[in-house]
Structure 1
Amino acid sequence: MFNIPAITWTLTAVLLLSGSYHALQAARSRQRRDRVNNILHALMNILMAAMLWNLAPATMLAQIAVLTGAALWFVIQAVARPEFKTFCAGSQGRLKCAYHALTMAGAALMLAMMGQGTTPAQGTAPAQTMTMPMPMPMPMPATHHAMAAAPQNTATAMFGHSPALAILPTIFFGAAAVAFLILLLRGRATATTPSHASASRLPVRAEHGLEAIGAAVMALMFATIAV
Structure 2
Amino acid sequence: MKHGIKNTDKETLEKWIKLMTLGRALDEKAPNYLKQAIGWSYHAPYAGHDGIQLAIGQVFDKETDFLFPYYRDLLTVLSAGLTAEEIILNGISKATDVAGGGRHMSNHFAKPEWNIENVSSSTGNHTLHAAGVARGIKTYSAKGVAISSQGESSVSEGYVYEAINGASKEKLPVVFVFQDNGYGISVPKEDQTANRKVADNFKGFKNLKIFHCNGKDVFDSMNTMIEAKKYVIENQIP
Alignment TM-score > 0.5, same fold:
no
Structure showing the higher strand proportion among its residues: 2
Q: Which has the higher contact order (CA 8 A, sep 6+)?
A: 2
Which structure is larger by alpha-carbon Rg, 1 or 2? 1
Instruction: Give the TM-score normalised by the residue count of structure 1.
Output: 0.30
